Structure 1
């Protein structure tokens, strides 16, 4: 099964070799494939002002190859929603330590869809929920295309629209706030048939994290009689 690694400023040095491929994949996917030409850069890397040292990345690795990723930015800092798309949130900017903004979610084309194990897209969505509850988040803000909403519903995510959809480059786009909680993560693990947590915290052993709900004990172990 692919591994999903948490990458932040504390352990970024362990993943430096992945960042050039990561930014090039973003350029391939968002500029070349999806035609978001405003993101085009002559060096073939898609990097924006939110790729700071405070951004957290989830890298999905399979035998050392980067096959998917997502970015999370604390909303107490500038975000896509606060700086680029404030009109999508009729309630005003979200600026809370318990909410991170998710963006740049992708899986390489040859690994999309059903394969031998859980879908890579589903693994990423499960992993970011695990990350959130591990560090005490209560939600994720996201600017997304409307077609993501049925996908979120299928995987058990509770997405609350923050405003009306807007047409942008021929796409319907809106802002949502997604609940981050134990129930959603547990539901995703059960749907995917996961038997262990999905995240690898390499080099982050000292990062303070709350204990995850113990949902992986087999029934016999969970109800072992006292002796």
Structure 2
């Protein structure tokens, strides 16, 4: 059974606990660990202007049902990071279309990362990203990312176009890129991470109960 749960406006009530934990992890990783202080809020969650009813979340779960990773897709026909915050990364004209979505907030929780290589949970989220995109008829994915990401994704067999010049930020260089969604990219990513079958959890079904939960009186 796949471990990537897809949560959107239509089924968020089923996965409210996992979605809240996902926002907490985003705070732990982006605000505390990476020190993106512009994202800091008085509460220990990280949400931005693009966490709206249009967002689609990919939540990676462990065998106990705890969130260990995640990512987000946002339609480019709605406000999004590349088009509305960093249009200069696409030479002032970010691609927008019903079949182009933006990919943001990709993370893996610290205990599930590996040193010197990409962790399997990361591969599951990447495969989930492509699987969901293929199912939804998404043709391309735009992204604002650190400058090393296009080459890293190309090693997985992805076709990635850098849209403009690099932009130097306080702690890194970032670029805007456009990724082609294809079955070939999905299959090559599965081979790279030694993944078989679908990584997606069946829709509209509850994931495993967390081991720490107590059921009954």
Q: TM-score, normalised by structure 1?
A: 0.84
The DSSP-based 3-state class of the residue aligned with 1:200 is: coil
The aligned length equals: 201
Superposed displacement of residue 93, structure 1:
2.4
Superposed displacement of residue 2, structure 1:
6.8
Task: Please say if residues 159 and 176 of structure 1, whose CA atoms lie closer than 8 Å, have aligned partners that are also in contact.
Answer: yes
Answer with 1 or 2: which has the greater Rg: 1
Task: Please say if residues 75 and 95 of structure 1, whose CA atoms lie closer than 8 Å, have aligned partners that are also in contact.
Answer: yes
CA distance in 1, matches of 2:6, 2:202: 6
Aligned-pair Cα RMSD in Å: 1.6
What's 1:60 paired with? 60
Cα 1:149–1:125, aligned 2, differ >3 Å: closer, same or farther?
A: same
What's 1:167 paired with? 168
Task: Please say if residues 147 and 175 of structure 2, whose CA atoms lie closer than 8 Å, have aligned partners that are also in contact.
Answer: yes
Task: Please say if residues 164 and 175 of structure 2, whose CA atoms lie closer than 8 Å, have aligned partners that are also in contact.
Answer: yes
Q: How does 1:107-186 map to 2 (within 5 A)?
A: 107-113=108-114, 119-186=120-187
What's 1:27 paired with? 27
CA distance in 2, matches of 1:133, 1:175: 22
The DSSP-based 3-state class of the residue aligned with 2:16 is: helix
Task: Please say if residues 10 and 203 of structure 1, whose CA atoms lie closer than 8 Å, have aligned partners that are also in contact.
Answer: no
RCO higher in 1 or 2 (8 Å CA, sep ≥ 6)?
2
Unaligned 5+ runs, structure 1: 205-227
Task: Please say if residues 2 and 60 of structure 1, whose CA atoms lie closer than 8 Å, have aligned partners that are also in contact.
Answer: no
Superposed displacement of residue 201, structure 1:
3.8
The structure 1 segments of at least 4 consecutive aligned residues displaced by more than 3 Å after TM superposition are none
CA distance in 1, matches of 2:38, 2:45: 13
What's 1:88 paired with? 89
Task: Please say if residues 4 and 125 of structure 2, whose CA atoms lie closer than 8 Å, have aligned partners that are also in contact.
Answer: yes
Task: Please say if residues 122 and 155 of structure 1, whose CA atoms lie closer than 8 Å, have aligned partners that are also in contact.
Answer: no
CA distance in 1, matches of 2:197, 2:122: 17
What's 1:221 paired with? none
What's 2:201 paired with? 200
What's 1:14 paired with? 14
CA distance in 2, matches of 1:23, 1:125: 19
CA distance in 1, matches of 2:130, 2:92: 24
What's 2:100 paired with? 99
What's 1:76 paired with? 77
CA distance in 1, matches of 2:180, 2:132: 13
Superposed displacement of residue 91, structure 1:
5.6
Superposed displacement of residue 122, structure 1:
1.1
Q: TM-score, normalised by structure 2?
A: 0.88
CA distance in 2, matches of 1:122, 1:189: 7
